Structure 1
Amino acid sequence: MTKAVVFDIGMVLVEWQPEAFYDRLIGPDRRRAFWAETGIAAMNERIDLGAPFAETVRAHADLHPAWRAEVMAWHDHWLDMCTPAIPHSVRLLSALRAKGVPVFALSNFGIGTFELACRHYPFLTNFDRLFVSGYLGLIKPDPRFYAALEAGTGYSGADLLFADDRPENIEAAAARGWKTHLFTTPAGWADRLVAEGFLTEGEAA
């Protein structure tokens, strides 16, 4: 019997669209060049693994002076990339909590960026326990990150139902015997929570 629910955060509870932000800022062609020439995605992974937010972005800007303004925008306009909230998903989180279902977060997020997000989206603290990559120095789909949640909660295998938008993260959870849901829409996630018996159709609306 499934006993607890695990949420990813980015693209499940809150939109995370850095490419769209930079497309608006500098246009798609320059954005693609920016990604290729600066390794900005790898910089963000270092932040997600616990590197300090502001210092890491500034150091990366120093390495790429031709793109300094664009690199610094990653810090200065971070909330413009992490927006908006996904209201139906937020309601599902609240409904699960109201019913006393154990609910956890397992998310790739930096320390500084997560603290910024929590100030802007207070519902991100509405979990029984948070497992955030920056604090643990582990990142999905590393199996050790999933094992940390199991060790910290006492749940494992089919006890857990996990929603994430990335297939590789779902596959890593499934390999541990977790039940999984590849998130594409909050309506689909609502249907799965009803099917698993966590919520009624009315509660999941």
Structure 2
Amino acid sequence: MPNVQAVVFDIGNVLIEWQPERFFDSVIGEDRRREMFATIDLHGMNDEVDRGGTFHEVIAATADRYPEWRDEVMIWHDRWIEMAAPEIPHSVRLLRALRAKGVPVFALTNFGIQTFAIAEPVYPFLSEFDRRYISGHMGVIKPETRIYQMVESDCGVPPEGLLFADDRIDNLRAAEARGWQTHLFEGPQGWADRLVAEGLLREGEAQ
């Protein structure tokens, strides 16, 4: 494999847990949550936000379309930061260890403009990337080809020099089609092991 010139982190489920179903189970109960998610394409709604749609407007419009679920849908807006939680501490340490070694570290994430602004003061590490590629600002989401092209054009690193960690295989397949190196994130220890195997960190630095 070519040498890694920059490491690219997804954020949701790599640095911060993102499990809306789990959150709604705790708020309205599993049965009602299942009914709600079967009735409303909430993940599609979230994709609209991640493409750059105004957070409140997108959620409120969905609530208007489903008045019988209005209160529950607005929870997505009003308690969003509770869904985007908690951080994954080992992953944050890996981000910081890479930067301490002088390895360029980028973020490539499906994230809304307003939701990212909400998350930044809660999760200070979000300001620690060398470059941040936030879908809401880019107007395109993973796994659409254009978002990877935009990263390549901006960062100046050849595709084969990028190592990208994401929890979704479809996002990785799209990156691989561009020539990126990839890692399916299934937990921080596996990611730590990969970074050690690539020679980017020593074992003690990857703890």
Coarse TM-score class (shorter-chain normalised): over 0.9
In 2, Cα distance between the equivalents of 1:202 and 1:33? 47
Aligned match of 2:70 in 68, 71, 88? Answer: 68
1:97 paired to 2:87: no
Instruction: Report matched runs for 1:48-197 at 5 Å.
Output: 48-197=50-199
What RMSD in Å do the two structures reach over aligned CA positions? Answer: 0.8
Q: Normalised by the size of structure 2, how large is the TM-score?
A: 0.97
Q: Which moved more, 1:25-34 or 1:100-109?
A: 25-34
Provide the residue aligned with 1:4 in structure 2.
6
In 1, Cα distance between the equivalents of 2:188 and 2:151? 23
Q: Please give the secondary structure, in 1, of the residue aligned with 2:182.
A: strand
Provide the residue aligned with 2:28 in structure 1.
26
Gapped regions of structure 1 (runs ≥ 5) = none
Q: In structure 2, what residue type is equivalent to 1:8?
A: D
Q: In structure 2, what residue type is equivalent to 1:59?
A: A
Q: In structure 2, what residue type is equivalent to 1:98?
A: A
Identity %: 60
Q: In structure 2, what residue type is equivalent to 1:168?
A: D
Deviation at 1:7, TM superposition (A): 0.2
Deviation at 1:34, TM superposition (A): 0.7
Q: Please give the secondary structure, in 1, of the residue aligned with 2:183.
A: strand
Q: How many residues align?
A: 205
In 1, Cα distance between the equivalents of 2:160 and 2:11? 21
Q: Please give the secondary structure, in 2, of the residue aligned with 1:189.
A: helix
Q: Which moved more, 1:60-69 or 1:31-40?
A: 31-40
In 2, Cα distance between the equivalents of 1:164 and 1:52? 25
In 1, Cα distance between the equivalents of 2:44 and 2:195? 34
Q: Normalised by the size of structure 1, how large is the TM-score?
A: 0.98
In 1, Cα distance between the equivalents of 2:41 and 2:192? 36
Deviation at 1:133, TM superposition (A): 0.5
In 1, Cα distance between the equivalents of 2:66 and 2:201? 50
Deviation beyond 2 Å, 4+ runs, structure 1: none
Deviation at 1:88, TM superposition (A): 0.3
Deviation at 1:56, TM superposition (A): 1.4
In 1, Cα distance between the equivalents of 2:141 and 2:84? 19
Deviation at 1:156, TM superposition (A): 2.4
Q: Residues 18-77 of structure 1, C-alpha deviation per residue, up to 9 Å, x if partnerless?
A: 000111112222112111212211111100000001121112111111001100000111
Gapped regions of structure 2 (runs ≥ 5) = none
